Structure formats: C-alpha cells, structure tokens
Structure 1
Amino acid sequence: MYDTILVPTDGSDASAAAVEHAVDIAHTRDATVHLLHVVDVGTEMSSAASGQIAQQVSETLEQQADDALDDAVSRAEDAGVDYERVILEGNPDTAIVDYAEDNAVDLVVMGATGRAGLTEKLLGSTTDRVMRSTKIPVLLIRE
C-alpha cells in the first residue's frame, strides 16, 4: 500500500517526529522514504541585499538543509530503511506537491508545525497548503 513515502523536513522538532513516523512506516512496509528539504530561496533571498550578503545567506540555507537531512538520513540508516535524499529550491508547498506527484509517492508524512514565521501565521502553514493541494494521503504528526 505504501511503497514510496515522502517526508519533508526543515529540521524542526515537528519534522523530526514526522521523520520518525515515516521511517517506522517504511520499515514495516519495506518501503522507500524520500527525505526532502525545500530551500525557500525566493523568500529568504529577497530579504538579503546582494553580493556577499546573498552568498552568506545561500551558504547558511544550504547548511540548514544539510543539517536537517543528515539527521533524517541517520534515522533511516539506523532503521535499515531505503531512502532518497533530496534538496530542492522553490516554494515549499508547491515543491512538495510537485515532487510527490512526479515520484509516485503513496503517502506524505509531515509535522504539524515547523519553522513558521510571520508569513506562515498570516497565510497558513506549508502543511495546510500541501494537504489542500494534493490527492495523495497526508499523515499529520504532532510532536
């Protein structure tokens, strides 16, 4: 039933809990888990000027993506679960939905809250937008 599971992670406690659940499900179903981090370059980079500042912001975002995925990969490896490690750039909810549809994902596992800022509070969460934008089942995990 669940051969391909997608778990987007931003390194937050909520996404770590989602990774744990996704890995557990993948382990029991002999499924592959896709560990995804989306770098929201448009929003993050628009606040930076240019030149050296933009370079520093880009490096920081890349490091955050690596840190979030390193932890998720470690959990998958410890459980003996097959995984794909993916970093994308773009709008997080759109990138998650597009990736899920392009990769025949059977289940998306997401944390209930993540690294939300003022924009997220005003416009709604990435999780909420993903749930409303796909027909793929979304499992919501609370910390």
Structure 2
Amino acid sequence: MKRILVPTDFSEHAEYALKVAAQIARKTDAEIYLLHMLELPNQTVDAVAPGSEVPEVMFYMKKAHERFEELKQQDYLSGIPVTEAVQFDRAFEGILKISKKHEIDIIIMGSHGASGFEEIFIGSNTEKVVRTSDIPVLVIKKGDENFNIKNIVFASDFTDEIKKPFEKAVEFAALFGAHIHLLMVNTPNDFKSTSAAEKIMTDFVRNYPIGTYSTHVYNETNVEKGILKFSKSINADLIGVSTHGRKGLNHFFNGSISEDIVNHASRNVITFKI
C-alpha cells in the first residue's frame, strides 16, 4: 500500500478520512494524493482549456488550492508526501480516473451516509465509488485520532468468487494485527445449520496466511441487518464486505448489500471488488 487517494470537498467528514489516511501512510510509508473535484456547468467546462482565464473557473481553482495549502500545514500530515490535484469532472468518475492514472492502492473517503429519497434518487459519491471501484475503498464515518483496528468483521457467503477480495482483507488486517471475525448471516430464504456454515468458513480460510480469527453464524431477517447487528454486538472497529459492482438495471433490481452497509452503518466500512 504505497499510494492512497483521498477525495475531498473540504468538509468535516472529508478531513476525518484524511486523518485516517495520514495514520495509514505512516504505517506503510505511503504517499497521499489529495483530490478535489470541480463539478462545473457543462458550458463552463467546455470553455476550460490550457491557459484559460474563465473568471468562475479561476476563482474556484484558487480557492481550492488555498484550502489545500491550509490542509497541508496540519500537524498530522507532517513529513508525509502529499500531492494535490483539482479536476473538472463528475466527482465519482473523476475519482476513478485518477485512481487508475496514478495506480492508487486504496481510496479513503468520508461519508455521513444517505437515506430515504436522497438514497433512492441521488445517492452519494461515496456509494458510487464503492459500487464501481476496482480497488479497496475505506469509508470513514467519524473522526478518530487513533485509527487502531483490533476487530474486523468480514461478512460473506464464502464462495470461490470471494477469494480475491478476502486476500485484500487479510492484507489490510495484517497492517494492524487485527482479529478477523468471519461472519455468515443466515436468513429465512438461505438457511444453513450452524455446523454446515462453520465448516464452509473453516474450509475457506484454510490456505490463507491469516492471523487470529473466529467464525460466527448470525440469524436475521436479511443480510444487512445481520451484519450491522453483529458488528454492534462485538463493538467492531471496521466492517469488511465485497461488492459486485453492478450497474444499470441490474443494480437497480438487485441492489447491493455493500452500498446499503456503507449508507446505513455508523461504523467504518471497507469494501473489496469481486
């Protein structure tokens, strides 16, 4: 983990993410890429060219760089290489383009979640990044001066397609020497006996260089509720889930547990692309 991307709108939640990124960067000798997206009207964007002096564009760019300079003076970033960028694009699309261009290893974003009509019709940039990113996305929900992960819940059905995301989860847990709680949620429509579920999980992790872990079976009416309630019951520091990256009508009809968790969890969440 050598390159960390932190998108920022200079809000309080974005700074929560930056503070966590700084702590991880110190652990891994990583550099931080700070990105601010300017979503301007199409006609304004079309007018932007090298050397352009469109007043509105110049004003917002100047303000963004002033805010960057303020952030870079913060003590928690002292000694960490920080690269700043202002991009003209829709936020989540720009984030994905920059992550590929600079071969980013992880995206760390702040989020306060979304619900009701906002969730259905608008959604959040964080949710869209979670859905479409090929690299892990760490979603920070609250300020934490000491981001020290001890207990990670990794929720899954533990099928073969989860192997690659799980490898990433194990690598992340190893950074903190964290205990991984393997969780399988039993629902009425997909029920397994405790012994069968535990065997699936034990067989799944057998060939991984995993540190300390435990297996858990939790019964609930749906998977999202099971993950959230179990995580609360053990006071988990982080929830880990995998995402299929569904788009279009497929996403609309099938939904995504990972996006629901990102929106509704009060705890930090990390997602891994299948």
TM-score bin, normalised by smaller chain: 0.7 to 0.9
User: How many angstroms apart in 1 are the aligned matches of 2:61 and 2:120?
Assistant: 24
Task: Trace 1:1-143 onto structure 2 (pairs within 5 A).
Answer: 2-42=1-41, 55=54, 57-75=56-74, 78-113=77-112, 122-143=121-142
| C-alpha contact 2:2 2:105 (8 A) present in aligned 1 | yes
In structure 2, stretches of 5+ residues that fail to align are 46-53, 143-274
Normalised TM-score (structure 1): 0.78
Q: Residue 8 of structure 2 contacts residue 34 of structure 2 at CA under 8 Å; is this kept in 1?
A: yes
Give the whole-Å Cα distance in 2 for the aligned partners of 1:79 and 1:44.
Answer: 40
Equivalent pair of 1:36/1:69 in contact (CA under 8 Å): no
Checking the alignment, whether the CA contact within 8 Å between 2:22 and 2:77 is kept in structure 1 is: no
Q: Which amino acid aligns with 2:64?
A: A
Equivalent residue of 2:25, what SS? helix
Aligned partners of 2:93 and 2:87: how far apart in 1? 11
Partner of 1:10, secondary structure, is coil
Paired residue total: 131
| Distance in 2 separating the partners of 1:7 and 1:109 | 5
Considering Cα pairs closer than 8 Å and 6+ residues apart, tell me whether 1 or 2 has the greater RCO. Answer: 1
Is the 1:42–1:90 Cα contact (8 Å) retained in structure 2? no
Change (3 A) 1:102 1:14: same
Mapped partners of 2:65, 2:134: distance in 1: 29
On the 8 A contact 1:38/1:92 being kept in 2, the answer is yes
- In structure 2, do the counterparts of structure 1 residues 43 and 21 end up closer, same or farther at CA, with 3 Å as the change threshold? farther
- The verdict on how the C-alpha distance between 1:100 and 1:78 changes in structure 2, with shifts beyond 3 A counting, is closer
User: Is the contact between residue 108 and residue 139 of structure 1 (CA under 8 Å) also seen in structure 2?
Assistant: yes
Gaps of 5+ in 1: 47-54
2: CA distance, partners of 1:127 / 1:5 = 16
Q: Is the 8 A contact 2:37 2:91 kept in 1?
A: yes
What letter matches 2:99 in structure 1?
A: A
- Offset of 1:13 from its aligned partner? 0.2
Instruction: Give the secondary-structure state (helix, strand or coil) at the position aligned to 1:41.
Output: coil
Instruction: Give the conservation status (yes or no) of the 8 Å contact 1:110–1:141.
Output: yes
